[in-house]
Amino acid sequence: MKNVLVTGGAGFIGSNFVRFLLEKNQHVRIINLDALTYAGSLLNLAGVLDSARHIFVEANICDKDVIPNVLKKYDVDTIAHFAAETHVDRSILEPDPFFQTNVLGTLNLLESAKEFWAQKKMQGRFHHISTDEVYGSLAENELAFTESSTYFPRSPYSASKAASDHLVRAYFHTYNIHVTLTNCSNNYGAYQFVEKLIPFTILNALQGNSLPIYGDGKQIRDWLYVQDHCEAIYNVLERGSVGETYNIAGNNQICNLDLVQMICAMLDEFQPAQSSYASLITHVSDRFGHDRRYALDTTKIYNQLGWSPKYNIEAGLRETVQWYLQNPDWMQAAFSKMQSENWLEKNYQHRG
Ligand code: NAD
Ligand code: TYD
């Protein structure tokens, strides 16, 4: 690992990973390629943009001219592929960009890497970051998904990620590209775009707005603190076996309603208002095809690489809530972006 291309490194997890990698490994140079869509921002890279070991390239992973040139120019030996369209609600409203970026963009990266590494007569590493959502939805009493569970994606987002996973594996089996994959559960932490549940709840609570909960709020997610996720990916890059997939999760299963109540209790403690923030919780109509529960079995990454999460939800959430409270300028910029896209009208007006 010397010249690492990180795609989507101006997004939530990607920017956390860039910071993590620069600190963890003093010998790598990062080429951070990001199209700066609504979800990406240079504000997420505060403090690393001026590092001599970090080069930012504003580009689209679908671009068939730029990607081969970037691989060549920076002599890329490792790719950590985060770039994607990621919001399920957006995928329900407009699926097309999900298939452009997540499927065709991934194909372009794989093809460009295959050609470049063949010319150089070298074996690079292609690491693909994916989601637990490819496995589908679980009932409350069902066993967590393992790496060999059948794929059963149920939203346009998860269908596009499932397709990209299949492509990555196909490039391993067909062309012997050295790939690894990780499928992770819902992440949370600093720099997550404000449309997603946790920052959205914090933002609305601070503004005194209602806190929308889809349906009965009993949908369960397994929340993974982003720092734990970065460490897991690093372990896989360093010691993961080629061709293998590893599940990564926080082992913190909690339903949306309980999670939002936890955030409200923390805000009550850190920044008390006249009444508890929990009084703002409002049930709204449900997401179409809303997956009931995700849960991952992480035995494989623990047994093979010794990784397990360090943060429980209480500890990770406290750090997260405090980070958003301490970064009002970042929050304001993200809020303005969300407003300029009319996201609240598009996603919430029809929910009642
Ligand atoms: P994000 O939406 O916060 O960031 C995505 C980044 O990709 C943005 O910076 C955006 O500008 C960039 N991007 C989008 N399309 C691009 C394109 N065509 N070319 C170049 N850049 C492009 O996403 P995230 O939450 O950081 O997720 C990162 C990865 O992790 C994704 O692959 C996602 O599927 C996966 N994942 C995320 C979660 C989660 O809870 N956030 C859970 C499981 C898996
Ligand atoms: P989200 O952050 O969009 O992640 P994902 O859909 O990938 O799991 O949403 C997390 C959960 O929170 C999901 O079950 C949908 C729910 N949710 C709400 O109840 N209200 C909201 O306003 C949002 C954005 C999400």
As a whole number of angstroms, the distance between CA 12 and CA 316 comes to 15
Whether 324 maps to a domain, the answer reads no
Q: Is 97 left (phi over 0), alpha (psi -120 to 50) or beta?
A: alpha
SS3 assignment, position 156: helix
Whether 88 maps to a domain, the answer reads yes
Total count of domains within the chain: 1
Residue nearest to atom 19 of ligand 1 (CA): 60
Residue nearest to atom 12 of ligand 2 (CA): 197
As a whole number of angstroms, the distance between CA 65 and CA 269 comes to 52
Residue nearest to atom 23 of ligand 2 (CA): 197
> Which H or E run contains 328?
helix 328-340
Q: Which domain holds residue 232?
A: 3-193+224-251+294-313
Whether 212 maps to a domain, the answer reads no
SS3 assignment, position 20: helix
Whether 219 maps to a domain, the answer reads no
Say which ligand is closest to the CA of 184.
Answer: 1
Ligand 1 pocket mutation, candidates 15, 45, 82, criterion most atoms within 8 A of CB: 82
CB of residue 235 inside a 6 A radius of ligand 2: no
As a whole number of angstroms, the distance between CA 58 and CA 35 comes to 5
Whether 287 maps to a domain, the answer reads no
Q: CATH code at 147?
A: 3.40.50.720
Buried b (16+ CB within 10 A) or exposed e, 20-35: bbbeebeebbbbbbbb
- For the CA of 198, the closest atom of ligand 2 is 2
Q: How far is ligand 2, taken at its centre, from the CA of residue 91, in Å?
A: 13
Ligand 2 pocket mutation, candidates 86, 185, 194, 256, criterion most atoms within 8 A of CB: 256
Report if pTM > 0.85.
yes
Tens of each residue's pLDDT in the chain, 352 residues: 999 999 999 999 999 999 999 999 999 999 999 999 999 999 999 999 999 999 999 999 999 999 999 999 999 999 999 999 999 999 999 999 999 999 999 999 999 999 999 999 999 999 999 999 999 999 999 999 999 999 999 999 999 999 999 999 999 999 999 999 999 999 999 999 999 999 999 999 999 999 999 999 999 999 999 999 999 999 999 999 999 999 999 999 999 999 999 999 999 999 999 999 999 999 999 999 999 999 999 999 999 999 999 999 999 999 999 999 999 999 999 999 999 989 999 999 999 7
Q: Which residues are catalytic?
A: 132-133, 157
Say which ligand is closest to the CA of 13.
Answer: 1
Whether 352 maps to a domain, the answer reads no
Q: How far is ligand 1, taken at its centre, from the CA of residue 271, in Å?
A: 31
Whether 246 maps to a domain, the answer reads yes
SS3 assignment, position 136: coil
As a whole number of angstroms, the distance between CA 144 and CA 182 comes to 16
Whether 36 maps to a domain, the answer reads yes
